[in-house]
Chain A
Amino acid sequence: GQQVMQIPQYQHVQEGEDFTTYCNSSTTLSNIQWYKQRPGGHPVFLIQLVKSGEVKKQKRLTFQFGEAKKNSSLHITATQTTDVGTYFCAGLSSGYALNFGKGTSLLVTP
C-alpha cells in the first residue's frame, strides 16, 4: 500500500530557531494535507496542497509540494513555544482515505 514517510521523528529546538519536517511518498500523490496535534489533543487541519510545486504560507509556516508530487515539507520560521506538538502529513494517492505519516514531534524550549 501507499507509504508516507516523515522525518525527523523528533526535533528539539530553542525558541527562535527554525524547524523543518519532510514528507516523502512512494507513489505520486493527488494531494497532501498537513495537520497539527497538540499534546493530549486531536489532529487539526493546517493546509492542503494540490498542485505540483505549490508553495503556501501561513504567517511563520511555509508549506511546499514537490514538483513530482511525491514529497512535501513544512518549515516554521522563528519557532515559538506555541508551536509545540506533532505535525503530520497525510497523502491521497488513490482510494478515498488519507494515509498519514508517523509525524514529527516538535519540542520548543524557551
Chain B
Amino acid sequence: NAGVTQTPKFQVLKTGQSMTLQCAQDMNHNSMYWYRQDPGMGLRLIYYSASEGTTDKGEVPNGYNVSRLNKREFSLRLESAAPSQTSVYFCASSGGQGYTEAFFGQGTRLTVV
C-alpha cells in the first residue's frame, strides 16, 4: 500500500507563479487535510475535507484554495505564490475526522523566490 502520496516532493516557484500540490490516498479514508510546517511553528492546518464534496478552512487558509476531486484526491492550489508561502506542505488522511490516526504523506518542500 502506498498510503498517502504527494507530488511533487520539491518545487521552486517565482513570486506570482501558481501551482497545484497533488495528494492521493488509497486507504478509502473520508477525511483529508493540508498542513504547512514552518520552523518553530509546528503543523498548521490550511484546509480540510471531512468527506467527499466538502471543504473547510483551517487556521491559515489565506492564499490557498483546495479541491476534493473525489474520495481519493485532495489538491492544494497556490494562485499567486508569495515568499511567505515557503514551507513544507503535508497532506494527511484519516478515517474518522480526527478520531482516528492520521496518515501523512512525505511532504512537499516549496520555496518561493
Using a CB–CB cutoff of 8 Å, the interface residues on chain A facing chain B are 1, 6, 9, 30-31, 33, 35, 42-45, 48, 88, 90, 92, 95-103
In whole angstroms, how far apart are the Cα atoms of A98 and B90 in the complex?
14
A-B pairs with the 10 shortest C-beta distances? Answer: A102-B42, A45-B101, A100-B43, A92-B98, A96-B97, A42-B104, A96-B50, A97-B48, A98-B98, A43-B104
Residues of B within 8 A of A99 (CB): 45, 59
- Among B45-66, those with CB < 8 Å from A are 45, 48, 50, 56, 58-59
How many cross-chain pairs have Cβ atoms below 8 Å apart between A and B? 65
Interface-central residue, A6, A43, A102, A103, by most chain B CB under 10 Å: A43
Q: Closest residue to B33 on the A side, CB-wise?
A: A97
A96 and B104: CB pair below 8 A? no
